A = this chain, B = another copy of it.
Amino acid sequence: MRPYEKVPSAIYAQSFATVRSEANLARFDDGLQSLVIRLIHACGMVEIADRIAFSGGAYEAGANALRAGAPVLCDCEMVASGIIRRYLPANNDVICTLNNAETPDHAKAIENTRSAAAVDAWLPHLEGAVVAIGNAPTALFRLLEHLDAGAPKPAIILGFPVGFVGAAESKAELAANARGCDFVALRGRRGGSAIASAAVNALSAGLPEIAK
């Protein structure tokens, strides 16, 4: 069998060197560069750098929120599972309400998806929170509806819903009007829980070589 690289530090170094040499990162500040590099590392696609939408102070806003103890609100368990807990700077709560016992009935009551219904349970935690959406377009749409209705503002919205129905549209809506929140999003159909988790990990700890 062919030889392969087995040393974790060498794997990381070579990975990030490849990303830096291939991706267009010039339009991002240092914080956002570390975040975008982590997104690329999570999905293997350097070209997503060209489809990132963001607000100017997004990295600092998200990193400061985490340092201040903000909870991380996730739209699905896979996103929560990918958040590296030891990187979180304030032992932050990671909250996923999708599988709360009352979510299915609430979805029927509001005539929306379970993912959207789960967002309604975020409201007590929303002010200053870090929101990480890696699966459901309806979760992002529902959040924007709440913000339009005057809900407390999260510190940052990490918008990475994926798929063929509503993913591109919900992220376009966010990028066009983030309702006064900071945000980072990947335009188009692509996204996913690994990318959303990677964004949170970047806000926690920059790049791995910075973290330790």
Contacts and interface: CB of A to CB of B under 8 A. Distances in A.
Q: How many copies does the complex hold?
A: 2
B111 A4 contact: no
A44 B190 contact: yes
A181 to B, nearest CB: 15
B42 A166 contact: no
Given A43-B192, A144-B1, A173-B1, A138 B6 contact: yes
A11 B137 CA distance: 10
Contacts of A88: none
Contacts of A113: 6, 8, 11
Interface in A34-85: 41-45, 77-78, 80-82
Given A2-B173, A4-B137, A78 B19 contact: no
A158 to B, nearest CB: 16
A23 to B, nearest CB: 11
Interface in A117-148: 137-138, 141, 144-145, 148
A201 interface: no
Interface residues of A, number: 49
Given A8-B114, A18-B165, 8 more contacts: A1-B141, A4-B137, A6-B112, A19-B164, A43-B190, A45-B190, A78-B78, A192-B192
Interface of A: 1-2, 4-6, 8, 11, 14-15, 18-19, 41-45, 77-78, 80-82, 111-114, 116, 137-138, 141, 144-145, 148, 162-167, 169-170, 173, 188-194, 197
